A and B are shown apart, each in its own frame.
Chain A
Amino acid sequence: GAVVSQHPSWVICKSGTSVKIECRSLDFQATTMFWYRQFPKQSLMLMATSNEGSKATYEQGVEKDKFLINHASLTLSTLTVTSAHPEDSSFYICSASLLAGGPLEQFFGPGTRLTVL
Chain B
Amino acid sequence: DAKTTQPTSMDCAEGRAANLPCNHSTISGNEYVYWYRQIHSQGPQYIIHGLKNNETNEMASLIITEDRKSSTLILPHATLRDTAVYYCIVRNFGNEKLTFGTGTRLTIIP
Contacts and interface: CB of A to CB of B under 8 A. Distances in A.
Interface residues of A, number: 25
A111 B102 contact: no
A83 to B, nearest CB: 26
B49 A106 contact: no
Contacts of A108: 36, 43-46
How would you classify the secondary structure of chain B's contact residues: helix, strand, loop or mixed?
loop
Interface stretch (B10-18, B55-63, B90-98): B90-98
A111 B32 contact: no
Contacts of A34: 96-98
A36 B38 CA distance: 13
A108 B94 CA distance: 18
Interface in B1-45: 32, 36, 38, 41-45
B97 A46 contact: yes
A105 B94 contact: no
Given A106-B98, A107-B46, A108-B45, 14 more contacts: A6-B43, A31-B96, A32-B96, A34-B96, A36-B100, A43-B103, A49-B96, A95-B44, A97-B96, A103-B93, A106-B46, A108-B36, A109-B43, A113-B41
Interface of B: 32, 36, 38, 41-46, 49, 87, 91, 93-103
